[in-house]
Amino acid sequence: MKTDLTKDSIQSLIQGISIAPDQLSEHSLLTLQAIWKALYPRKKTPHLKTLLIREIAYHIQYKEHGALDQQSLRTLQTAKANYIRSRSGKGKSNNSKPDSNKTIPPKASHILADGAILKRQFNGRLYEVMVVIRDTKQYFLFNGDEYKSLSSIAKEITGAHWSGPRFFGLTKLKKKR
């Protein structure tokens, strides 16, 4: 792992973009966070190295090559819609052709981004949970431990069974008619 860079060398990296995206993983978390702060001074710095590498690499590539053209964007949107359709098992009809004009949005509980932090105030104390996505599976980090569901974290916090997504404000309680 490369040693931490000085502020001047970080500024020169950003100005000249003299670092290749595939070299980012060689740097320490602290160096990547310093680069992030120089790139995005008003945004909160992520604490996951993989997220930092992805975001900084995107910034470097965007500066070098610019935004994607419309055809590439359409191709990505179609691929995303097909992926969502294949994961949900929906969108299948009697014929073998998938309906490429319709997209099936994912459930709200599945939209959490890697590195997202969920916060909840409970009994005067603030609790934070970080979302981690590994091998297309979603995990949650809380107090240094990894959990498979938000409900188990909510139960640990409250001592009672709660819907994890509801506890962290991701879903709303349905009104009775």
Q: What is the pLDDT of residues 127-172, one digit of tens each?
A: 999 888 887 788 899 988 889 999 999 999 999 998 998 898 888 6
Residue-range definition of the domain harbouring residue 157: 108-167
Residue 97 counted as domain residue: no
Give the phi and the psi of residue 119 in degrees, each rounded to 5: -120, 145
Residue 32 counted as domain residue: yes
Query: Do both 163 and 112 map to the same domain?
Result: yes
The CA distance from 138 to 111, in Å, is: 10
The CA distance from 44 to 31, in Å, is: 15
Residue 101 counted as domain residue: no
Query: Do both 112 and 163 map to the same domain?
Result: yes
Long-range CB contacts (within 8 A, 24+) of 151-155: 153/129
Residue 49 counted as domain residue: yes
Q: How many domains does the chain have?
A: 2
Residue 103 counted as domain residue: no
Residue 87 counted as domain residue: no
pTM of structure: 0.39
Residue 88 counted as domain residue: no
Place of tokens 């602290």: 30
